[in-house]
Amino acid sequence: EERKRKREAREPHKRAAKARKLRGIKAKIFNKERRNEKIQMKKKIKAHEEKNVRQNTEKVAEGAVPVYLLDRDVQSRAKVLSNMIKQKRKEKAGKWDVPIPKVRAQADAEVFKVLKSGKSKRKAWKRMVTKVTFVGENFTRKPPKFERFIRPMALRFKKAHVTHPELKATFCLPIIGVKKNPSSQMYTSLGVITKGTVIEVNISELGLITQAGKVVWGKYA
């Protein structure tokens, strides 16, 4: 009996020594076997524990919502509300939206001309705009060395001839800004004016007033 006890006590030490000594494929096989043994042992222990402890689970009422879904209803209600608000905003914006005409998009090669710089003209990152542009009054150029997009003075327009559809008359009005260039967002930010571009003009001198009696300053053309 004593011998058996001692042998069992020595067993883990022997196993550990064997695990340390083994190398290569033999070590892999040995470790896999040990892992499976441990899994089986843990399963047995758990089964014994579950036998001892009676599980008292409450009966769940039908149609009950789990805790993690309790605020789902609130979310869906909030979603409906936010969607309604978004829809109203869209409708409101749609009233004042400018109809953008469908025109052929301008290619970069048409609008920009590559300017080569540097001592041996090897740098080609500068571009010169070859179309009419609008530049604001308080615009300041970057130093010429670092200017990527060059807008020539001869192609900068400040006024535009705008025809009033009801009066059937044409007026020369100062440009306030470029609202939208259908070709590209970059052209809009650069103020490039091509066919189909929507611009904002100052119509204060025409003396148009709204129904509320306010003077209309700017209008899209």
Q: What per-residue confidence (pLDDT) applies to 72?
A: 61
Window from 93-102, 144-153, 156-165 with minimum mean pLDDT: 93-102
**Model confidence pLDDT, tens digit, residues 47-59:** 888 776 655 555 6
Listed residue (118, 123, 152) closest to 135, CA to CA: 152
In the predicted model, is pLDDT for residue 73 greater than 80?
no
Chain centroid, CA 195 distance in Å: 30
- φ/ψ bin of 196: left (φ > 0), alpha (ψ from -120 to 50), beta (otherwise): left
- As separate numbers, helices (DSSP H) first and strands (DSSP E) second, the chain gives 5, 7
Task: Give the residues across from 36 on adjacent strands.
Answer: none
Q: What is the pLDDT of residue 6?
A: 92
Whether the pLDDT of residue 74 is over 80: the answer is no
Phi, then psi, of 131 in degrees rounded to 5: -110, 170
Handedness of CA 93, 98, 101, 106 (dihedral sign): negative
Greater confidence (35 vs 196) lies with 35
Residues forming beta bridges with residue 149, ordered by sequence position = 127
- Among the residues of the chain, which ranges form H helices? 2-21, 24-52, 72-96, 108-111, 185-190
Segment 86-110 shows an average pLDDT of: 71
**Above 70 in pLDDT, residue 23?**
yes
189 pLDDT higher than 80: yes
pTM of the model: 0.49
Whole-number Å distance between alpha carbons of 162 and 172: 6
In this predicted structure, which of 7-21, 39-53, 68-82, 144-158 has the lowest mean pLDDT? Answer: 68-82
Interval 181-188 mean pLDDT: 86
Closest by CA to 195, choosing from 186, 203, 187, is 187
Using 50, 70 and 90 to split pLDDT, how confident is the model at 111? confident
15-24, 48-57, 168-177, 195-204: which has the highest mean pLDDT?
Answer: 15-24
Q: Which residues contact 191 (CB under 8 A, 6 or more apart)?
A: 133, 134, 135, 136, 151, 177, 178
Most confidently modeled of 90-99, 101-110, 152-161, 166-175?
152-161
Does residue 69 have a pLDDT over 80? no
Q: Which residues partner with 150 through β-bridges?
A: 128
Contact 193, 211 (CB under 8 A): no
Give me Rg for the CA atoms of the chain: 40
3-state helix, strand, coil in the chain (%, to 5): 45, 20, 35
The larger pLDDT score, comparing residue 140 to residue 96, is at 140
Distance CA 154, CA 106 (A): 21
> Where exactly are the structural domains of the chain?
2-47, 108-220
Is a pLDDT exceeding 70 seen at residue 104? yes
